[in-house]
Structure 1
Amino acid sequence: MLPAIQVADDHARVRDEATLAAIRTECRYQLPGAIPDVWKRPDWQVVEQAFDLPDVYVSYIEVRTYAASTCIPIQCPRYDLYWLYLVRGAMDITTPDTRKALVTTTEKHYRVSYLPAGRYACSFGEGTHHIFYVVHKPKALFREESPELGMEATVISAVKTRLAVHAASYELSMQDGSAASILRFLRAPGNTYLRRSQSIMHLSLELVFIAHQTLLGHAEGKAIGAEWAEQLKAYINRCILEGTPITADSVAEQFRISAVYARRLFKTHHGETIGSYITRQKLELAVQLLQEGDPPVRVARYLGWTPAHFSRAYRAKFGHPPSQRHL
C-alpha cells in the first residue's frame, strides 16, 4: 500500500541510506520495524515512520519547519478516512494554493477526516510538529456494518461514496484517552514483528472506539445544551409576561450556572444574545399592551424600564414613539 499521505516533492526525498539513518536518529521516537521516509528542504524537513499491515496503515511523522509560515505540498492517492492526531504543534490541510483551509487541527487534538484523492498542502508555523495518523483499509473498515462507524455519519458516507469534497468531524481533545494510547505505542511499539502487529491492531481499533465514545458524548452534550437553551428561553418568556425583572445574570442565577456560560449557551442555540432577546420580547409585549389600551408610562413600568428608555427602544424598533402607536 502506498502511504495514505505523501509529500508531493520527489526532489526533496532523501535517498542516501546513511543520511536517512542519521536524520532518523534525531527523531523524538524511533520505531523499530517501521518503513522510514525522509524529505528535506532548506526551510523544512519531514520524517515519516510507517507500518503497513493488511488491514491498517499507521504513520508517525515529525515535521521541522524553520520559517514563520511553511507550506509543504502533499497528495492523497486514494479516498481514505483518517484518524489524524496532532501530538505536538498544529497543522492546516489546505487547497494546493493554500487559499482555503480544509482541515485545521491544533496541538493535542484530532479529527476523523475524509480526504478524496488529490493534491493538497500542509501549512505549519515555525517549530516541531508531531503527527500520528491511522487509515483503516476499506476492505477491513466496511467488512460489515459497525455502530462504531456511525459516529460521524457525514464523514462515513463521504468515504463510502468516494465523495469529491472533504469532510471532517469536530476537533476533539486527545485527553479522551487517545493521547495516552498513542504515546504508549510510540514509546514501546514492540521489538518483534508479531508484537508490533498486535500493538498496532490493538491501538488502531482502540482509537476507533475512543473516537466513537467522544463523538457520541459530544452529540449528547449538544442535545443537552439545546434542551437547556430552551429552558432558559421559556424562563425569560415567563418572567417578561409576569412583569418580573429579568437580566442575563438573573437567568444564570436561576439555573445555577455562570453568566458567561448562560450567554454562550443561549447565543449558540438561539442565534442572538440574551439581552437582545429580552429587549425584543419586551417590545413585542409592549405592542400588545398598548393595543389593549395601556398608556406608555404603565407599559414601561410593567416592562421594568423608565419611560425614557422605553420610548427610545420603541422608536429604535418601530420608527415612532409608543404614543403614536395608532398612527
Structure 2
Amino acid sequence: MKASLSKTQQPLKPRVGIEFPYISDPVQLSYNLPKNTTYRLRYGHCRHWQHPKFTVIEQYCQTKDTYIYLSEIVPSMELTVNFIYTHDDLYFFYQLKGNTRLWIDQKKAAILRMKEQHYQISHLPAGHHQAYYKKEKRYLTFYFIIDRSLLLHFQDNSLSFLKDLLFKLTYKPEKFGSTISIPLSAKAKLYLYRLFRLPRQNELSLERYVPPILLQLITLARQEYSEEYQSQNKLILKLQQIRQQVQENIKESVAFTVEELAHNHQLTTNYLNQVHRRHYHENLQRYITRTKLAEGYRQIVEEGITPTAVALDLLFYDGAAFTRAFKKEFGILPSILYFRYHKK
C-alpha cells in the first residue's frame, strides 16, 4: 500500500477507528490525499474513504508525546459514522466547519456538541461513539492529544487548570466530561494554521515543531477559558438579579416586559432570552409567566383571593387569559382550586 503523505512504506494506523454502520455498499479506502482537500498536512498520513454518496478524509500525525488528527467529511446523504476509541483520553477539539454531535457510547444521554468555529476540551472514554452528519454540508474537525506525563511535568503555571481534569481522568477513566465551548479566537486560528502549514519533514524534525505549537494552544486555552468563566460568572449574577427583580415586581403588581428588563440591564432582548435559556432551560418570558402563575396559585390557596382578583393583581390581560394559562400550568381551573380550599 502506498502512503501519499509519508515516506514510510506503511501508513500509520490512526488511534481512532472509523465505521459506517448503515452503509451496505462497499466503501473504497485509499491512502492518497485528494487535491480538493481544504488543508493538507504534508507531514502526516492520510486515509481517504470514497463512496458515491460521501467522502471522508482523515489526516493524522504522531510524535513521541502528541497525536494530531484532522477530518473532512462531505456527505451528499444523511450519514452516521461510528468512531472507535480504544483508550480514554483528553481531547482538544476544534470544530472548524459545520455543527455536529457525538453520542458517547451511542447513548443519547451523553452528547458532545461541537459548534462551528468553537473549541472545547473533552474527556472521552474508550468505546464506540457515534456522530451524525447532514447531507450537502462540509465538516472539518481537528483534535489533538498530548501525553499526560508531558502535561503534568510541564513547568508552566498556565497549565495548572488541566491538572484537575487529568487527575479526575486517572481516577475515573470511564467517565465522559467536557468544558464549555468557546469561540475560536484569531490567535488560536493563527496557531492552527501554523500547524497545518508545516512543511513535509521526518518524525525527528516534527518533535521540534509540533509539540511547542500544541502547548501554545493549551496555554492560550487556559487564558481564554479563564476569561470566559469570569464572563459567565458575571452573567449568571446578572441573571439572578433579573430573576429576583421579576419576583419582586410580581409581588408588588408592577407592570414590566422582557424588553424593559433587557434595556435596564444593558442587554438586547434576544441575547437575554438566549442566555436565560442556556442557563435555566427556558426563556425569560416563560419564567415570568410561570412565576406569576405560581404566585396566583399561592394567593388562591393561602390567602383565599378569588381568581378574578388574582388575574387583576397579576396584570393578566383578562380573566380568560389567566384561566387558560393556569389550567395549562397546573391542570386545574383556578375557580375549582378556589372552591376546593375555600368552600363555604
Category of TM-score, reference length = shorter chain: 0.7 to 0.9
Equivalent residue, structure 1, for 2:31: 20
Aligned 1:54-133 pairs, distance under 5 A: 54-65=64-75, 67-94=76-103, 102-126=111-135, 127-133=137-143
CA distance in 1, matches of 2:321, 2:45: 73
Partner SS for 2:95: strand
Residues 1:303 and 1:208: Cα distance change in structure 2 (over 3 Å):
same
CA separation in 2, counterparts of 1:212 and 1:318? Answer: 57
CA distance in 2, matches of 1:311, 1:71: 47
The reply to whether residue 319 of structure 1 matches residue 319 of structure 2 is: no
* Distance of aligned partners of 1:99 and 1:13 in 2 relative to their CA distance in 1, 3 Å threshold: farther
Distance 2:337 2:108 in 1: 47
Are the equivalent residues in 1 in contact too, given 2:54–2:77 (CA < 8 A)?
Answer: no
**Where does the alignment leave 5 or more consecutive residues of structure 1 unmatched?**
none
Q: Distance between the aligned counterparts of 2:254 and 2:82, measured in 1?
A: 61
Residue 150 of structure 1 corresponds to which residue in structure 2?
161
Secondary structure, counterpart of 2:174 in structure 1: coil
Relative to structure 1, the CA distance from residue 300 to residue 109 in structure 2 (aligned partners, 3 Å threshold; closer, same or farther) is: closer
User: Gaps spanning 5+ residues in structure 2: where?
Assistant: 1-11, 21-25
> CA offsets per residue over residues 43-64 of structure 1, 9 Å max, x none?
4433333221222111223334
Give distance in 2, aligned partners of 1:310 and 1:189.
65
1:203 has 2:213 as partner = yes
In the TM superposition, 1:135-214 aligns within 5 A as 135-143=145-153, 148=159, 150=161, 156-175=166-185, 177-186=187-196, 188-190=197-199, 192-193=201-202, 196-214=206-224
How many Å separate the matches in 2 of 1:58 and 1:158?
A: 23
Q: 1:298 to 1:36 in 2, by over 3 A?
A: closer
Match of 1:274 in 2: 288
Could you tell me how far apart the structure 1 residues matched to 2:34 and 2:336 are?
71
243-252 vs 190-199, which moves further: 190-199
Secondary structure class of the residue paired with 1:218? helix
The percentage of counterpart residues that share the same residue type is 15
1:82-136 per-position Cα deviation (integer Å, ceiling 9, x unaligned): 1122222344333676877732323323332222223334432334432211001
Q: For residues 73 and 204 of structure 1, what CA distance do their matches in structure 2 show?
A: 27
When normalised by structure 2's length, the TM-score is: 0.71
Moved more, 202-211 or 303-312: 303-312
CA separation in 2, counterparts of 1:269 and 1:241?
22
SS of residue matched to 2:31:
helix
- Alignment deviations for residues 223-267 of structure 1 (CA, whole Å, 9 cap, x no partner): 222211221233233334444333434433433433344444555
Deviation at 1:205, TM superposition (A): 1.3
Following the alignment from structure 2 to structure 1, what is the Cα–Cα distance between the partners of residues 117 and 83? 22
**TM-score normalized with structure 1 length:** 0.74
